[in-house]
Amino acid sequence: MSMFNRLLVTGLPVVPKPLVGKVASRYVAGETLADAVRVVRNLNQQGAMATIDVLGEEVSEREKALAAVEEYLQVFDTIAAEGLDSNVSIKPTLLGLKIDESFCRDNIERIVAKAKEHGNFVRIDMEDNTTTDATLRIFHELYARYGNVGPVLQAYMRRTLSDIAALPEGSTVRLCKGIYVEPRTIAWKGFETVRANYVRALEKLIERGIYTGIATHDEYLTCRAVGLIDKHGLKREQYEFQMLLGVDEELRRILIAGGHRLRVYVPYGRDWYPYSMRRLRENPEVARHVLKAMLSGR
Ligand SMILES: Cc1cc2nc3c(=O)[nH]c(=O)nc-3n(C[C@H](O)[C@H](O)[C@H](O)COP(=O)(O)OP(=O)(O)OC[C@H]3O[C@@H](n4cnc5c(N)ncnc54)[C@H](O)[C@@H]3O)c2cc1C
């Protein structure tokens, strides 16, 4: 990261919240479930599937985790009632992982059971390394009992290849680079190194016959993925691409036009600010827009 970008990113916390909201609103459907429904319906009309995420991370009070469970139950009822092509993504720390693992597992189980009632699916997002073991334990246990749940694996983690080897037959995974800042002792750090491990991990997943959500906006990785899909003769139903709402809509259209299945991650909720800050920190290009908007008084 250049010195200028570094300065931009460290300066972000002092940027006024309404300004961050204005620039970052493209990454978030809105504050309510009705906003998410509107965005997902639009995506479905464009030929994309969706995964709905209720915004929020790490709660320390049980009531908040239980409120998030209720919200997710409502999301599944709404997806069914509105006839949307969408599953959901959940964050274990929002569902109480840092309070107590078994409390969190019970909360996730209620969501997975609800999804099962509707013939739908739950993707468990992967958070920082302090949560990886517990998240995978919860996944393995619930997968064995319900089947309609899958984890996310991060290509920057050195352990990912062995996590792939341990995935149960018939399970599905989302493969992403990883968004948290992890120590070098456990994570690959170089940009090209992470790309290389992503390709390696994807090929392993394909060889194992695991349905993979190829989550990236990196054109190089997209191109490598298309090459692997071709090389292994995968059919359209055997994988999907995944992208975040508001990021590189052109690439999204290119992939859909190329005949690939594509799912868009659609976050909504009142907790949009921390999510937006993370997106902004991750991509200094977006931080530049904030700066421009500040300087031009918009
Ligand atoms: C559907 C989905 C789900 C994800 N779930 C998780 C998860 O559970 N756990 C986790 O750790 N990470 C998750 N991530 C984030 C992921 O790990 C990466 O941090 C993120 O996708 C950026 O990596 P990239 O592969 O797109 O490549 P990059 O090289 O970072 O990006 C490629 C290009 O895409 C554009 N771009 C990328 N990100 C953004 C952005 N935020 N805003 C604007 N433009 C951008 C830029 O133009 C950039 O040059 C998810 C990503 C996606 C797409």
What is the position in ligand 1's atom list of the atom closest to the CA of 191? 29
For residue 44, the CA-to-ligand 1 centroid distance in Å is 21
Establish whether residue 101 lines the binding site of ligand 1, counting it when its CB lies within 6 angstroms of any ligand atom: no
Tokens linked to 30: 């809105």
Q: Are the CB atoms for 126 and 154 separated by under 8 Å?
A: yes
Q: Is residue 212 within a helix (H) or strand (E), and if so which, with residue range?
A: strand 211-215
- Strand-pairing partners, residue 87, are 51
- What does the pLDDT look like over 145-156, one tens digit per residue? 999 999 999 999
Establish whether residue 247 lines the binding site of ligand 1, counting it when its CB lies within 6 angstroms of any ligand atom: yes
Query: What string of pLDDT tens digits covers the 298 residues of the chain?
Result: 555 555 555 666 667 777 777 766 788 999 999 999 999 999 999 999 999 999 987 899 999 999 999 999 999 999 999 999 999 999 999 999 999 999 999 999 999 999 999 999 999 999 999 999 999 999 999 999 999 999 999 999 999 999 999 999 999 999 999 999 999 999 999 999 999 999 999 999 999 999 999 999 999 999 999 999 999 999 999 999 999 999 999 999 999 999 999 999 999 998 878 777 776 776 666 666 656 655 554 4
Per-residue DSSP letter, 190: S
Whole-prediction pTM value? 0.92
Tokens linked to 142: 């619930």
Q: Is residue 220 within a helix (H) or strand (E), and if so which, with residue range?
A: helix 219-231
Nearby residues of 66 by Cβ (< 8 Å), 6 or more positions away: 107
Tokens linked to 112: 């997975």
What is the position in ligand 1's atom list of the atom closest to the CA of 178? 17
For ligand 1, atom 45: residue with the closest CA:
247
What is the position in ligand 1's atom list of the atom closest to the CA of 263? 1
For ligand 1, pick from 91, 221, 244, 265 the residue to mutate: most ligand atoms within 8 Å of CB: 244
Establish whether residue 248 lines the binding site of ligand 1, counting it when its CB lies within 6 angstroms of any ligand atom: yes
- What does the pLDDT look like over 115-139, one tens digit per residue? 999 999 999 999 999 999 999 999 9
Active-site annotation, residues: 125, 174
At residue 56, what is the residue type?
A: G
DSSP result, 142-186: HHHHTS-EEEEEETTBTTHHHHHHTSPTT-EEEEE---S---TTT
